[in-house]
Amino acid sequence: MTQAPSYYKHHIFFCLNQRANGESCCAAQGAQDAFDRCKSQVKAAGLAGPGGVRVNKAGCLDRCAAGPVAVVYPEGVWYSFVDASDVDEIVERHLKQGEIVERLLVPAHVGR
């Protein structure tokens, strides 16, 4: 069976989960700002929409120890980021050029 082409070339999900009990969470580490930055960068680069990139909010992605985190599909590549320049690098290198940003990868063993 032939697989249909994906609606989006890349789909990036940002964990925006907020924990009320003081546990570590992506929302407390600037995830909303990173999401907003990514969305505006993708739009400004003309990458948004069908055949391009979709930037989405997500609830807990269960990788809290590496937070804040985002995951890019269809590759299933997990990133952690610190500031706007990290987000810009993910947009430029991964979402535009298809190159994984090795220095921002979440180690496979890191979970909650």
Q: Is pLDDT above 90 for 22?
A: no
Strands 77-80 and 69-73: antiparallel
Q: Is pLDDT above 70 for 88?
A: yes
Among candidate residues 27, 44, 33, the one with its CA nearest the CA of residue 87? 33
* Structural fold of domain 10-104: Glutaredoxin (3.40.30)
Tens-digit pLDDT profile for residues 94-108: 999 999 999 999 988
More confident residue, 22 or 62: 62
Q: Using CA atoms, how far apart are residues 84 and 29, in angstroms rounded to an integer? A: 12
Q: Which of 18-27, 29-38, 42-51, 59-68 has the lowest mean pLDDT?
A: 18-27
Q: In this structure, are residues 53 and 90 in contact, taking their beta carbons and an 8 Å threshold? A: no
More confident residue, 30 or 6: 30
Say what the pTM is: 0.91
The pLDDT, as a whole number, for residue 31 is 95
